[in-house]
Structure 1
Amino acid sequence: MAKKTSESGAGTPATVALGQAGIHFTPHLYQHDAAATNFGLEAAEKLELDPDRVFKTLLADADGQLVVGIVPVTGTLDLKALALALGAKKAVMADPKLAERKTGYVVGGISPIGQKNAHPTVIDESAILFDTVFVSGGRRGFDIELSPDDLATVTSGSFAPIGRP
């Protein structure tokens, strides 16, 4: 059974999807600083985490299809590697407004879980080095901790080397 919080992080599409899937997660709330521009590193700092365990959700266009890449906040998404992992010829970053429209989340709070539209998802293989990882819970100031395998299950994702330091 999913663990939920009674604070303002409960009830995001991400937590609802996890609950419906019966996947255990731990919610982590923190006070988001409106001046912050690197949301993932802010989460790692505020939650006092190894930033290699905190992953950001990025959307790209791979041969005309919107796709999700999940990589550590300490690095960047390797678009060529993402395309290769999906069997596409080329991938480019998606327009942030399109990402918001298609996921139902705002930039800086885009969760890979519970998006408005399901998209092919690839998780950087470094996630499997950890018992649990952290991803956005669906809004700025809210992260979800879960196992990498559960993340792959709930997103129908696969693991591949798509991150660059």
Structure 2
Amino acid sequence: MSRTTPATAFLRRQGITFETLEYEYDPSVGKLGVHAAAAVGEPEERVFKTLMAEVDGKPVCAVIPVARELSMKKLAAAFSGRSAAMMKQPDAERITGYRLGGISPFGQRRVVPTVVAQEAESLPCILMNGGGRGIQVRLSVADALAAMKGRFADILVPQRMP
């Protein structure tokens, strides 16, 4: 039986079908999301991380692939703002109700505008933090977007060609 978190309870209340995957959380690894993808045996392109930021001083949520980088300029543009910055850890934890390393876009304490990297649009399913360290949820992209009341946006730093 998997653990119930505010995120999984939220998804159940919404009637969303999802699967919970648990793994050994290791805070010493450099890239937690990449580690999570490997730990649950999923390609990095399908595992997304939840980042809390501020656009023109207002909280927003960005959901991006774990191996990619968020563009602050594109994030600001996605919300018709002038500037964006990552939210400070204490603020992110207070607003979401989750600890860093376990922030989920589902069931946050405070509902904030959310964008998902447009790269998710073509995927059959997506994995995201399930509301706790070492917990991922797998669900359809359409269900994920509906549950978080999000929208797709071009928010990633372009990948460099080798």
Give TM class, smaller chain. Answer: over 0.9
1:33 Cα shift? 2.0
Deviations 1:41-86 (A, max 9, x none): 1111111111011100001110121000000011111111111111
Matched to 1:50, the amino acid is P
Cα shift at 1:153: 0.6
The TM-score with structure 1 as length reference comes to 0.92
The amino acid across from 1:61 in the alignment is: E
Corresponding position: 1:27 with 2:17? no
Matches within 5 A, 1:1-165: 6-7=1-2, 9=3, 11-164=4-157, 165=159
Q: Which runs of 5+ in 1 are unaligned?
A: 1-5
User: Structure 1 stretches (4+) deviating beyond 4 angstroms?
Assistant: none
Match of 1:144, as an amino acid?
A: V
Identity across matched positions, percent: 38
| Unpaired runs of at least 5, structure 2 | none
Give secondary structure in 2 for the equivalent of 1:83. helix
Aligned mates of 1:163, 1:17 — CA distance in 2: 28
Q: Which residue of 2 aligns with 1:3?
A: none
The CA deviation at 1:34 is 3.7
Q: Which amino acid letter does the alignment assign opposite residue 39 of structure 1? A: L
Aligned residues: 158
Say what the alpha-carbon RMSD is for the aligned residues: 1.0
Using structure 2 for the length normalisation, give the TM-score.
0.94
